[in-house]
Chain A
Amino acid sequence: MAEEFEPNILGILCNWCTYAGADLAGTSRTQYPPNVRVIRIMCTGRLDPAFVLKALSVGADGVLVSGCHVGDCHYLAGNFKSRRRVALLRKLIEEYGYDRERLRMTFISASEGAIWAEVVQDMVNTIKKLGPNPLKQVGAAGPEGVVADDEF
């Protein structure tokens, strides 16, 4: 990693609020760092803890879960439930040796494109401070064969 470390962040966004908000950032041409790859789900309630653990175990430097504002959930309370899950997951991943800041949940509405851009920028800054996923750091002990060394 000679050149500056560019984090690979997985975004898991709900279809109705944050995904739409991210689209709005696009239509308003709001520029932000290209470090996030997005998976669209209907509701953050769909967030299976396994998704987050999987992402980290395959080397994601951060996971950004984002849904509707509390009270605005298209399915009434899915974001509520995922908020609790993420809170627990942040503790859990620390057990695995990941900084809890590598997992973040935000609430961004369909009309908050600018905020989506800020959140991504902020997440990227945070992860840059933390450095790459420990599994990817040279000499770091991690589950073998999860990611082959030649992949970085």
Chain B
Amino acid sequence: MKEYNFFLGCIAPNRYPGIEASAVKTSRKFDIELRDFKGASCCPAPGAFGSMDVNAWLALGARNICLSEKEGKDIALICNGCYKSLFEANHRLKADPAMREKVNSILANIDYEFQGSVEVRHLIDILYNDVGTEKVKESVEVPLTGVNVAIHYGCHLLKPKFDRTFGSSERPRFFDELVEALGATSIDYKEKMMCCGAGGGVRSYKMDLALDIANEKLYNMTQAGADVIVDVCPFCHLQLDRGQVEIKEKFGDVYDLPVLHYNQLLGLAQGMNPDELGLDAHEISVEPLLAKIM
């Protein structure tokens, strides 16, 4: 059994606990234990914090990594924003001695030192590259046959490609393969790789413009006949789920398109019941989807 320190971030534990719960439960089926990560904080939010001070952003990210280094555990996470903060901090501080020195001089004030002794992995990367689509397929009890999934990769999982391991960000396939492994269909839709609009602090700075981007995506997904949106980022998740309510208020456009994090979809396919996956906590009702599956 492989153990990871489970880095939660903010939105999953504090807005969509179902994402947190489903990640832990579904991973156990693959002998992966996501253990409590004591004392972790916000990653911190790359858009907001990086924008104010990159060194503070790196230092706060490094603080989280150091906590895990002390326990000698690799980090697993389920949020693209956290992935940007922690993966890049880890990767850059390992690669660039000067930057490492600078950040460690900041950490010295709290008697921490970045060692570069652990890895930071996104759970979707672990599922695809370590577990593999075959094992994922084997774990399916309720095949999601006939479900049209509009996949949203999210930006910080793939980009910048020079600072990632997934290759070109134009036409990735691995997420699609993981969804298809559950029996569902990954549908192509216009501007599939487009941002959800929330990042960079824009959702809090200019909500209307952030929602305008989400609106375009939601429209394209609906046009392509999506039954559900599936993401791997609680912040994109919030933008696309709660965003639909806000879009309804602000622009009057209605989609009622259910939004699931991949681990929640995986949970359904593994036969877990919707409540233990926290689906009832979503703004947009998941019922139409459940009806289609059951």
Are A and B direct contacts in the complex by CB distance below 8 Å? no
Residues of B within 8 A of A (CB): none
Residues of A within 8 A of B (CB): none
